[in-house]
């Protein structure tokens, strides 16, 4: 969803300008705007399974999303939360850059110089526009805790929430996510050990 919103915010349209204002302030985008972007994007998607990243962000969006999905005979079948502490989140956000040429996201590892862009091989990078200001960052974390935690509680109560340790190496996490998708697609029968029900919250390692 973040990439969709960033793409939208670069358009010279009224909707683009609205999205730009919200992305820069760190506030949650009103549903009406998020939905129109999401709806436009869903048009033409015929896949049986859609993975939403970064949405819904609050309980209000949960209600709207579920009724939108219902109109397409769909439902939320699983919610995955990548669990990462605040300090680590801040560290990661501060090490995110964007290719100056093509906009590809890139993360700096430790103090290593940034590698060349995976997409266009460019070597100049910018900070992502919504990641620059420290106070915006802190505000985003506050909004996140106030609004997003109740979403987790909601889906935990319905038995749909799964926690993954977001500090694991990316290839391990990727494998766990792929396993989950396979389970939802009905490809795999018995790999539920790859995920953990957060009601009992055993951390995966």
Q: Within 10 A of 70 (CB to CB), how many other CB atoms are there?
A: 10
Q: How many CB atoms lie within 10 A of CB 57?
A: 19
CA 83 to each of CA 20, 89, 105, 153, 173: distance values in angstroms, whole numbers, following the listed order? 27, 10, 21, 14, 11
Axis crossing angle, helix 134-157 with helix 14-25, rounded to the nearest 10? 100
- Residue found under tokens 């996510």: 177
Closest separation in Å from C-beta 133 to Zn ion: 24
Q: Which residues make beta-bridge pairs with 164? A: 82
**Should residue 117 be labelled a site residue for Zn ion when binding is judged by CB under 5 A?**
yes
Size of the residue set binding Zn ion (CB under 5 A): 8
Instruction: Using only the alpha carbons of the chain, give its radius of gyration.
Output: 18
> Coil, helix or strand for 74?
coil
Nearest to 125 by CA among 152, 106, 111: 106
Stretch that binds Zn ion, among 122-130, 135-143, 158-166, 194-202 (CB under 5 A): 122-130
Nearest to 39 by CA among 48, 28, 50: 50
Helix (H) or strand (E) holding 136: helix 134-157
Residue 84-103 contact track with Zn ion, rule CB under 5 A, x = bound = ---------------x-xx-
Q: Which is nearer to Zn ion, 75 or 112 (CB)?
A: 112
The reply on whether position 105 binds Zn ion by CB under 5 A is: no
Closer residue to Zn ion (CB): 114 or 137: 114
Binding mask 29-48 for Zn ion (x = CB under 5 A): --------------------
Give the nearest distance from C-beta 109 to Zn ion in angstroms.
18
Q: Which of 104, 143, 152, 178 binds Zn ion (CB under 5 A)?
A: 104
Q: Residue 126 Cβ, how far from Zn ion at the closest point, in Å? A: 11
Complex with Zn ion: residue 17 or 119, whichever CB lies closer = 119
19 binds Zn ion (CB under 5 A): no
119 touches Zn ion by CB under 5 A: yes
Residues that bind Zn ion (CB under 5 A): 99, 101-102, 104, 117, 119-120, 122
């Amino acid at each position: 969803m973040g990439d969709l919103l960033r793409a939208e915010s670069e358009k010279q349209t009224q909707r683009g300008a609205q999205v730009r204002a919200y992305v820069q302030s760190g506030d949650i985008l009103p549903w009406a705007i998020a939905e129109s972007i999401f709806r436009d994007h869903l048009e033409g998607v015929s896949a049986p399974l859609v993975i939403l990243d970064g949405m819904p962000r609050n309980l209000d969006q949960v209600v709207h999303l579920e009724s939108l999905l219902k109109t397409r005979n769909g439902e939320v079948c699983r919610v995955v939360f990548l669990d990462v502490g605040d300090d680590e989140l801040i560290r990661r956000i501060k090490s995110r850059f964007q290719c100056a040429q093509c906009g590809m996201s890139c993360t700096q590892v430790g103090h290593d110089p940034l590698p060349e862009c995976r997409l266009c091989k460019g070597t100049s990078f910018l900070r992502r526009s919504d990641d620059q200001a420290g106070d915006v960052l802190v505000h985003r974390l506050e909004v996140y805790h106030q609004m997003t935690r109740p979403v987790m509680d909601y889906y935990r109560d319905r038995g749909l929430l799964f926690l993954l340790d977001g500090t694991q190496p990316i290839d391990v996490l990727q494998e766990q996510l792929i396993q989950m998708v396979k389970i939802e697609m009905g490809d795999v029968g018995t790999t539920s050990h790859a995920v953990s029900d957060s009601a009992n919250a055993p951390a995966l390692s």
